[in-house]
Chain A
Amino acid sequence: MKTILLAAAAAVLLHITPTVVLVKRQDAVNRLLPGADNFAARELHLSSADSRRLHDAVGWEPPDGVVTFYVGKRQDQATGALIFMRVDCQHGPLELAIGFDPRGTVRGVEVTKATVEMKPWVLEALRAGLTDAYRGLAPDQTPAGAGKVKPRVGAMPGYMAELIDKGVMHAAAAYRLFYGRK
């Protein structure tokens, strides 16, 4: 009985809290691809060699081998691209939307989803101006938002900022290496 109770307590403690939407995907698209009136999904099914290349660059590859960019267009001219990126940690997943302008610099970053547990930490990091640090970032630059907000936030919001840095880095690497592929 003691074992059962301990197992129950461990299961409860380890249980990941439900996901909450912080920004609706459609709102993120409106903010990150402003002015676009039509959209295309550009899906890249990566070869093993390209997956390895991405992994060598940033220590990450899409688990199912597919990277999807959403391209915003206005009168058939690309106004930018957006990618949704998931970052996992022991507290659950975060979902980010990372927007790029036509030159490939980061237009903005939105945190679209977090878990109930992570939400207050993420909001604290965002209130400290985390996403401002990504604006104008070139795809070959390393995101350093966490370093900027850490002196002003608690430990867990600082950790969330590190995870968001990581997601932006993965998205920027995918953009740099593959976005222009035909």
Chain B
Amino acid sequence: MLYDLRHSDLRVRWLVTLLLATLGTSYLFGAWMVALYAGFSPRKVAETYGPSGEMRMAMQMPPDTTVVTERSVSMAEMGEETHHVDMNLLVQDTHVHMPMYAVIAAALSLVTLGLTLPRWGGLAIITLLFAAPWLDFAGMWLTKLVSPRFAIVTLAGGWAMALGYTIVAALATYQMWWRNR
């Protein structure tokens, strides 16, 4: 063990508690944002990140000649925007979010190093913390480039992120404030 959160100075435990509370709050808002813009079902995620966001057209390759379709729409449909992340936005999202995810995974990993756990347990949690963002973005890119079926990988990444945070927050809180003697 590199350091022991259970017997650490009150200031360290307070810092870790506030870090976990802040990250937890941001994760709750993150989940809210996902519900607003992408959804929690594979279909919704595939619509958001898939090619052109319109799976019904099933046109992943450009047609030989330009195809024109016309359908009636209501005012409400025009106002309703399906949030769709195209290639350019996904490049931007990946560039902006991956470093932040890495910093969050690193911060939670540092907390994990202070937990009383078997070595394999620590390794497993650290792997989970870093695997989650990789799964998240790999799923988005695979959904975009290979098949909408990979939306499930993005969902797995999101749940893995939540699971990793929950394990670390629960163990740290318990060990710092209830099992600290």
Contacts and interface: CB of A to CB of B under 8 A. Distances in A.
A30 to B, nearest CB: 8
A47 B78 CA distance: 25
Interface residues of B, number: 39
A16 B99 CA distance: 13
A40 B87 CA distance: 27
User: A interface, how many residues as a size bin?
Assistant: 35 or more
- Identify the 9 closest CB pairs spanning chains A and B, nearest first: A64-B52, A26-B79, A63-B86, A11-B100, A11-B99, A25-B79, A45-B67, A48-B62, A41-B73
A44 interface: yes
Nearest to A113: B81
B86 A64 contact: yes
Interface in A20-79: 24-26, 29, 38-48, 50-51, 63-66, 70-71
B99 A40 contact: no
A150 to B, nearest CB: 26
A59 to B, nearest CB: 14
B63 A25 contact: no
Interface in B15-70: 51-54, 57, 59, 62-70
Interface stretch (B88-96, B118-126, B147-155, B166-174): B88-96
A93 B89 contact: yes
Contacts of A10: 99
A70 B73 contact: yes
B78 A4 contact: no
Contacts of B53: 64
A110 B86 CA distance: 22
Interface of B: 51-54, 57, 59, 62-79, 81, 84, 86-89, 92, 95-96, 99-100, 102-103, 106-107
Contacts of B106: 4
B99 A29 contact: no
B88 to A, nearest CB: 6
Given A29-B79, A63-B86, 4 more contacts: A8-B103, A42-B68, A45-B66, A46-B62
Given A15-B100, A64-B51, A88-B89, A47 B62 contact: yes
A65 B52 CA distance: 8
Contacts of B78: 25-26, 29, 39, 41, 70
A103 interface: no
Contacts, number: 102
Contact of B59 (A15, A25, A45): A45
A50 B66 contact: yes
A41 B70 contact: yes
A182 B68 contact: yes
Interface in A161-182: 178, 181-182
B88 A40 contact: no
A74 to B, nearest CB: 14
A40 B96 contact: no
Contacts of B89: 88, 93
Given A11-B96, A45-B63, A64-B51, A40 B79 contact: no
8 contacts: A14-B96, A25-B78, A26-B79, A29-B79, A63-B87, A64-B51, A65-B62, A66-B57
A128 B72 CA distance: 37
A44 B67 contact: yes
